[in-house]
Structure formats: structure tokens, C-alpha cells
């Protein structure tokens, strides 16, 4: 497990999706300096200018979008949020949406300035709202994947519990066993890929999370979610086309959230993806890719 080739896993993923594999897709990892001695990382798919920017959720990384990227076949950029994936950790431990958005803006300006759509799931979604508010020229269409500013610390608690409950000084097999038991409707191959992307071996051979949230206590993780509600105002002020995609099995977006969204943005398109939980991009990537294509074509 010490040898990690992040792109070697794509062929297995394509086979699961029933996609042909004539040759590996054009995808590369890029780094952009967003502050002195701190870089943001992203996966850039395709050789033409990126048409979409994809932002993952808390305790995830850019590879959570691999299936969607393979299905779309479009040039796009999937970002590792600050403190996640291969992006550097922040010394101030600030991973709130507004702080994230400032870093993401620098990366988008450098790697995807003409993107036609920004889509964000969970923490990535509220980061996208903050990005739209502070850098409106970078967000031409906005897709929120199973999140609104109404999602709060209660909604984030299962994620915090999962992150903090992982065994310490674990082998990869022990971490895989923990994740398989903890996650609903486990898909062993998918969980294994996810862990290879989201964890790393230290100098002693123990596996730990790549993301900084893995070193947070539970209350620190929950405090990030407490920063979401003020973004309702930003969402109300936004004028770009907006789509909310909810998971049919996810409790993250409540009926009250939907009502508030309809009140402040009556033009918003709202879709429900059945048989999907919070991570729609993992549970139903084909349907999410279809919705993104439709929204781009409107």
C-alpha cells in the first residue's frame, strides 16, 4: 500500500460505470500558491479550458468527483479544498466557507477563469455560495449538491463522528474494515479507492487522514457548520442560475430549507435524486452528471 498512483484507479472506476477504456483520460494534478508557503491543489480534466469547477464536501477530496468527471467527458477542474486532499493545511485552522472561497478564487482565476458552472457538495456547496458573493465574475451558474446554508452542526455530526472514530495507528486494512462497517450500503471497491485517496501512510506505516479535519476534535468540526447560516443572505443576493440537487435518502436538506430557498430564489431549480444519500456524486453519479449537463444546456 506504500505505492500510490492516484490515476491508476480510474480504469477500475470506468469499468464499474460501463464506460469504454481505450486510453487513460487526460487528467493532471496542478498546484496554485494561494498564500505564502501555502498551495491549493486541483485535478484538471481535459486539454481544453475547464467548463466546470467541482468542489467536494468536508473530509473528502477532489477524487470524489471522478465518476462524474468520467461520465461528463468535459474539461473541468475538481478542487481539493484547503486542508483537504493534496492542498496544504491552514495554520489558522479556518475552513469556513468564506476562508475557503478566497483560496478557491485564486485557483479558479489561474486554472478555470472561463468556467460556465460551479458545483459544490456540502462544505463545497456553501464555499461556492461564498465564492459567488465575493467573486461573482467566477460563478456563472451555481449548483448546490445536498446542501443549503440551513445545514448546521447537527447535520455535520455524523461526519465528525466518523472522522474522529477512525482507529489510531491503524494499518490500511484496519482503516478499511472500520470504514466498511461505518458507512451505509458499503461498496468495498469504492470504499477502498476512497481511502487510498483520502488517507496516507506516515513514516511509521500507520495510516492517517490526509485532511486536516482528521486532527480536529468534534466541536471544531461542528463549528465549521455553524458558519453556514449567514450565507442565506448571499444566496438571496445572487442572480446567477441556481440548482439544488437533493439526495432522496439524505436528511441534510430539510423541508424548511427548501421552503426558504423557494422564498428567496423562486427561480431556483430543485431536483431530488432518488436512492442517493448525502454524497450524490458517489451514490448516483450518472444521474448527477445528467443534471449538470441539462443545467449547462439551459
pLDDT at 88 over 90: yes
Catalytic residues: 122, 146, 278
pLDDT over 70, % of the chain: 97
| Residue 171, in any domain of the structure | no
Nearest to 145 by CA among 42, 52, 83: 52
CATH number of the domain encompassing residue 83: 3.40.50.1820
What gap in Å lies between CA 167 and CA 145, rounded to an integer?
A: 30
Start-end of H helices in the chain: 10-17, 66-72, 97-111, 123-134, 153-165, 172-182, 188-198, 218-225, 231-237, 255-264, 280-283, 285-297
Digit-coded pLDDT (tens) for 181-223: 887 766 889 999 999 999 999 888 899 999 999 888 878 888 8
Residue 112: inside a domain: yes
**Residue 27 clears pLDDT 70, i.e. is over it:** yes
Tell me how many domains the chain contains: 1
Whole-angstrom distance, CA of residue 85 vs CA of residue 101 = 16
The pLDDT assigned to 50 comes to: 98
CA distance linking residue 188 with residue 55, whole number of Å? 24
pLDDT over 60 at 42, yes or no: yes
Question: Is a pLDDT exceeding 50 seen at residue 1?
Answer: no
Question: According to the model, what pLDDT value does residue 270 have?
Answer: 98
Give residue-wise pLDDT tens across range 227-275: 999 999 999 999 999 999 999 999 999 999 999 999 999 999 999 999 9
The boundaries of the domain holding residue 131 are 10-151+226-297
Residue 40 lies in a domain: yes
Inside any domain, residue 87: yes
Q: How far apart are CA 118 and CA 135, in angstroms?
A: 12
Task: Read off the C-alpha cell for 134.
Answer: 465575493
Dig out the grid coordinates for 264 from the structure: 428567496
**Listed residue (55, 63, 58) closest to 117, CA to CA:** 55
Q: What is the pTM for the complete model shown?
A: 0.96
Amino acid at each position: 500500500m506504500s505505492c500510490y498512483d492516484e490515476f491508476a484507479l480510474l480504469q477500475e472506476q470506468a469499468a464499474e460505470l460501463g464506460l469504454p477504456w481505450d486510453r487513460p483520460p487526460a487528467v493532471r494534478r496542478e498546484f496554485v500558491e494561494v498564500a505564502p508557503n501555502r498551495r491549493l491543489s486541483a485535478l484538471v480534466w481535459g486539454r481544453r479550458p475547464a467548463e466546470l469547477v467541482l468542489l467536494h464536501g468536508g473530509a473528502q477530496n477532489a477524487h470524489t468527483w471522478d465518476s462524474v468527471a468520467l461520465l461528463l467527458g468535459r474539461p473541468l477542474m475538481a478542487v481539493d479544498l484547503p486542508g483537504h486532499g493534496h492542498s496544504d493545511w491552514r495554520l489558522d485552522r479556518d475552513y469556513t466557507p468564506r476562508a475557503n472561497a478566497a483560496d478557491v478564487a485564486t485557483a479558479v482565476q489561474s486554472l478555470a477563469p472561463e468556467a460556465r458552472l460551479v458545483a459544490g457538495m456540502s462544505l463545497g456547496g456553501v464555499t461556492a455560495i461564498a465564492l459567488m458573493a465575493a467573486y461573482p465574475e467566477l460563478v456563472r451558474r451555481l449548483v448546490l449538491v445536498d446542501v443549503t446554508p440551513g445545514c448546521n452542526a447537527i447535520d455535520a455530526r455524523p461526519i465528525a463522528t466518523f472522522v474522529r472514530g477512525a482507529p489510531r495507528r491503524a494499518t490500511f486494512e484496519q482503516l478499511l474494515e472500520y470504514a466498511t462497517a461505518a458507512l451505509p450500503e458499503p461498496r468495498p471497491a469504492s470504499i477502498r479507492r476512497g481511502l487510498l485517496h483520502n488517507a496516507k501512510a506516515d513514516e511509521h506505516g500507520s495510516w492517517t487522514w490526509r485532511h486536516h479535519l482528521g486532527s480536529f476534535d468534534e466541536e471544531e468540526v461542528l463549528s465549521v457548520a455553524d458558519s453556514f447560516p449567514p450565507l442565506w443572505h448571499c444566496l438571496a443576493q445572487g442572480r446567477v442560475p441556481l440548482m439544488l440537487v437533493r439526495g432522496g435518502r439524505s436528511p441534510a436538506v430539510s423541508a424548511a430549507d427548501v421552503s426558504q430557498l423557494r422564498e428567496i430564489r423562486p427561480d431556483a431549480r430543485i431536483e431530488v435524486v432518488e436512492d442517493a444519500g448525502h454524497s450524490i456524486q458517489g451514490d448516483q453519479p450518472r444521474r448527477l452528471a445528467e443534471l449538470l449537463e441539462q443545467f449547462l444546456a439551459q
